[in-house]
Amino acid sequence: MAKRKRSESGTMVKVAMARELDIEENDAEESVQVDEYSDDFDEDHDDEGDKSSMSEQEENSANSLLAVEGTKPGKVSKKKLSVSRLADDVHNLHEAIQLYKSNIFKMEIDELLAELKIDEDKTKHVDKILHKLKVVIESIEDSPELLLPDAEKMLSKSGISIPFPDPKPPKDAQYRFKYEGPSDYNVVNCYLLKTMIKSPERFGVDVVVNMPKNIFHEKDALNYRYFHKRAFYLAYIASYLKSQKDLLFDMSYELLDGDHLRPVLRLESVKDGGEFDFHRARCYIRIIPGISQDVFTLTKISPSRNCVRYSQNPAESLKPTPFYNSSILNDTYFFPGTVVLHKAAKSCDGFKDAMKLGEIWLRQRGFKSSVDGGGFGSWEWGMLMAALLQGGGAKGSRSLSKGFSNYQLFKATLNYIASNDFTEAPVNTSKGPLGFDKGVFSGLPILVNNDINLNLLYRMSVSSYRRLRHEASLTVAELDDVKGDHFDSVFLDKVDSLIYQYDIASLIKFPSSRDDKTYRDIGRVFSPSYYAYFTSKVYQILHRGLGERASLISTKFSETSRWPLTAPKPSALGDGTLTLGILLDPENSERLVIHGPSAEDKSQAEEFRKFWGRKSELRRFKDGSIIESVVWEPHSERSIVSQIVTYLLERHFGEAIAKGMTFVADALAQTFAEDKELADGSAFTNFQKNLDEFEFLRKLLIDIDDLPLRVSSVMPASPALRYASIRSPAEFLNEYAHEFSDVVIELETSSKWPDDLVAVQHSKAAFLLGIAESIKSINAAILTQVGLERDLVTIENFSYLDIILPSGYAFRTRIQTDRESSMLKNYRIDKDLGLRAHRNLERNFSLAARHTTEFQTMCHRFPFLSPTVRRVKKWFHSHYLSPQVDDVLIELITLSIFLKPFPWTAPANATTGFLRTLYFLAHWDWRADPLILDVDNSLTIRDVQAIRDTFKSLRNNDPEYNQTALFVAVNYARDGTTWTSPNPSKVIASRITMLARASCEVLKTGNTIVSNNKSIIGRIFVSPLKDFDFVIHLKKMDRRTGRDVKYPPCDYFGLYFNELQTIFNGNVLLLRNALENDVIAGVWDPSILKARNWKVYLGYSTQPSTTEEANASDNNAHVRANIIAMVHEMGRLGGDLISKIDVLK
Amino acid sequence: MPTFDDANMGVKSKLGMAKKNRPLSTSGTPTQIISGYCVLPIYLPARVSITGTSSDSEDEGGPKQTPVVHYLYIRKHETPGDNSSSRTLFVANLPIDATTLHMHKLFSTIADIAPSSIETVTFLPSPTGTSFQLIPSLSSLKGLQEGQISQIRRILPTCSAAHVVFTDIKAMNKALGSLKFQQATPPIWRLSDAVEQEAEDANAMTGSARYMAIHKRRRISSAALQVTVDSFMSTYNKAEIQREHEAKRARSMPDDDGFVTVSRGVGRTAVGTSSDALKAEAKKRQKKGELKDFYRFQIREEKKTRMNELLKNFKMDQEKIRELKAKRKFKPFSSKLA
ipTM: 0.76
Question: Could you give the CA distance from residue A470 to residue A1079 in angstroms, rounded to a whole number?
Answer: 48
Over residues A563-593, the pLDDT tens digits come to: 888 888 887 777 788 999 999 998 888 888 9
Facing B219 at nearest CB: one of A785, A790, A1145: A785
Facing B208 at nearest CB: one of A928, A1052, A1098: A1052
Percent of chain A past pLDDT 70, that is, above it, reads 88
Instruction: Enumerate the H helices of chain B as residue ranges.
Output: 4-7, 100-111, 146-150, 169-180, 195-205, 207-218, 222-252, 274-288, 296-326
Per-residue confidence band for A1101, with pLDDT thresholds at 50, 70 and 90: confident
Cβ–Cβ of B297/A58 closer than 8 Å? yes
Q: Which residues of A touch B323 (CB under 8 A)?
A: 928
Q: Bridge-partner residues for A747, per DSSP?
A: A711
Question: Could you give the CA distance from residue A27 to residue B313 in angstroms, rounded to a whole number?
Answer: 12
Residue A984: is the preceding peptide bond cis (ω within 30°)? Answer: yes
pLDDT at A244 over 90: no
Average pLDDT over residues A137-153: 88
Over residues B273-284, the pLDDT tens digits come to: 455 556 666 666
Beta carbon pairs, A and B, within 8 Å:
331
Cβ–Cβ of B229/A762 closer than 8 Å? yes
3-state secondary structure of A824: helix
Cβ–Cβ of A766/B233 closer than 8 Å? yes
What SS3 string covers A709-757?
CCEEEEEECCHHHCCCCCCCCCCCCCCCCCCCEEEEEEECCCCCCCCCH
Q: Give the pLDDT score at A488.
A: 87
Q: Which residues of B touch A200 (CB under 8 A)?
A: 333
Cβ–Cβ of A1059/B135 closer than 8 Å? yes
**DSSP calls for A464-506:** HHHHHHHHHHHHHHHHH-SSS--HIIIIIS----TTTS-SEEE
Cβ–Cβ of B159/A58 closer than 8 Å? no
Cβ–Cβ of B51/A1142 closer than 8 Å? yes
pLDDT at B28 over 80: no
Percent of chain A past pLDDT 90, that is, above it, reads 38
Q: Which residues of A touch B318 (CB under 8 A)?
A: 107
Q: Give the pLDDT score at A789.
A: 86
Question: Could you give the CA distance from residue A1078 to residue A1037 in angstroms, rounded to a whole number?
Answer: 10
> From the CA of B257, how many Å to the nearest CA of chain A?
30
Residue in chain A lying closest to B338 (CA): A1004
Cβ–Cβ of A1097/B127 closer than 8 Å? yes
**B275 Cβ contact partners less than 8 Å away, ≥ 6 residues apart:** none
Residue in chain A lying closest to B156 (CA): A1063
Q: Which residues of B touch A1104 (CB under 8 A)?
A: 2, 6-7, 32, 34, 39, 71
Cβ–Cβ of B220/A788 closer than 8 Å? yes
Range from A231-245, A353-367, B151-165, B191-205 that averages highest in pLDDT? A353-367
Cβ–Cβ of A1132/B45 closer than 8 Å? yes
Question: Could you give the CA distance from residue A383 to residue A390 in angstroms, rounded to a whole number?
Answer: 11
Over residues B50-77, the pLDDT tens digits come to: 776 544 334 333 334 578 889 888 888 8
Over residues A1085-1096, the pLDDT tens digits come to: 888 888 778 777
Cβ–Cβ of B222/A1103 closer than 8 Å? no
Cβ–Cβ of A1125/B68 closer than 8 Å? yes
Q: Give the pLDDT score at A868.
A: 94
- Structure letter (DSSP) for residue A845: I
Sign of CA dihedral B162, B102, B139, A795: positive
Q: Which residues of A touch B158 (CB under 8 A)?
A: 1063-1064, 1067, 1099-1101, 1126, 1129
pLDDT at A52 over 60: no
pLDDT at A399 over 90: no
pLDDT at A737 over 80: no
Residue of B42, B50, B153, B216 for testing the chain A interface, max A β-carbons within 10 Å:
B50
Per-residue confidence band for B80, with pLDDT thresholds at 50, 70 and 90: low
Per-residue confidence band for A635, with pLDDT thresholds at 50, 70 and 90: confident
pLDDT at A141 over 90: no
Residue in chain A lying closest to B319 (CA): A104
Residue in chain B lying closest to A201 (CA): B333
Residue of B3, B144, B211, B230 for testing the chain A interface, max A β-carbons within 10 Å:
B211
Under a CB-based contact definition with an 8 Å cutoff, are residues A690 and A809 in contact? yes
Residue in chain B lying closest to A93 (CA): B314
**A759 Cβ contact partners less than 8 Å away, ≥ 6 residues apart:** B232, B233, B236
pLDDT at A1110 over 70: no
Over residues A463-491, the pLDDT tens digits come to: 999 999 999 999 999 998 888 888 888 99
Q: How far is CA A142 from the centre of its chain?
A: 55
Per-residue confidence band for A716, with pLDDT thresholds at 50, 70 and 90: very high
Q: How far is CA A757 from the centre of its chain?
A: 49
Under a CB-based contact definition with an 8 Å cutoff, are residues A357 and B332 in contact? no
Facing A1094 at nearest CB: one of B35, B135, B221: B35
Helix A910-923 / helix A887-899 crossing angle, nearest 10 deg = 100
Q: Which residues of B touch A759 (CB under 8 A)?
A: 232-233, 236
pLDDT at B5 over 60: no
Range from A13-22, A505-514, A878-887 that averages highest in pLDDT? A878-887
Q: Which residues of A touch B206 (CB under 8 A)?
A: 1132-1136
Over residues A927-956, the pLDDT tens digits come to: 989 999 999 989 988 899 899 999 999 999
Q: Which residues of A touch B219 (CB under 8 A)?
A: 785, 787, 1046-1048
Per-residue confidence band for B255, with pLDDT thresholds at 50, 70 and 90: low
Q: How far is CA A376 from the centre of its chain?
A: 21
Over residues A818-828, the pLDDT tens digits come to: 888 888 888 88
pLDDT at A68 over 50: no
Average pLDDT over residues A249-259: 89
Q: Give the pLDDT score at A670.
A: 86
Over residues B105-120, the pLDDT tens digits come to: 888 888 888 888 888 8
Cβ–Cβ of A360/B332 closer than 8 Å? yes
Cβ–Cβ of A1094/B310 closer than 8 Å? no
Q: Which residues of B touch A93 (CB under 8 A)?
A: 310-311, 314
Q: Which residues of B touch A90 (CB under 8 A)?
A: 307, 310-311, 314
Average pLDDT over residues A61-65: 38
Q: Which residues of B touch A1105 (CB under 8 A)?
A: 2
Facing A1004 at nearest CB: one of B35, B208, B338: B338
Average pLDDT over residues B80-106: 80
- Answer with the residue of higher pLDDT: A83 or A1097: A1097
Cβ–Cβ of A1064/B97 closer than 8 Å? no
Q: Give the pLDDT score at B246.
A: 83
Under a CB-based contact definition with an 8 Å cutoff, are residues B70 and B44 in contact? yes
**What are the backbone angles phi and psi of residue A392, rounded to the nearest 5°?**
95, -15
Per-residue confidence band for A36, with pLDDT thresholds at 50, 70 and 90: very low
Cβ–Cβ of A1052/B310 closer than 8 Å? no
Mean pLDDT of chain B: 69
- Does pTM surpass 0.90? no
What SS3 string covers A617-638?
EEEECCCCCEEEEEECCCCCCC
Over residues A24-33, the pLDDT tens digits come to: 334 333 333 3
Cβ–Cβ of B225/A786 closer than 8 Å? yes
Q: Which residues of A touch B12 (CB under 8 A)?
A: none
pLDDT at A796 over 90: no
Cβ–Cβ of B211/A1050 closer than 8 Å? yes
Average pLDDT over residues A429-433: 84
Out of A398-412, A830-844, B183-197, which region has the weakest mean confidence (pLDDT)? B183-197
Q: Give the pLDDT score at A1050.
A: 79
Cβ–Cβ of A1125/B315 closer than 8 Å? no
Q: Which residues of B touch A69 (CB under 8 A)?
A: 307
Q: Give the pLDDT score at A997.
A: 92
- Answer with the residue of higher pLDDT: B27 or A1106: A1106
Residue in chain B lying closest to A62 (CA): B300
pLDDT at B1 over 60: no
Cβ–Cβ of A1099/B126 closer than 8 Å? yes
Average pLDDT over residues B191-214: 74
Residue of B13, B333, B334, B335 for testing the chain A interface, max A β-carbons within 10 Å:
B333
Average pLDDT over residues A752-762: 87
Per-residue confidence band for A410, with pLDDT thresholds at 50, 70 and 90: very high
Q: Which residues of A touch B324 (CB under 8 A)?
A: 108, 111
Cβ–Cβ of B318/A69 closer than 8 Å? no
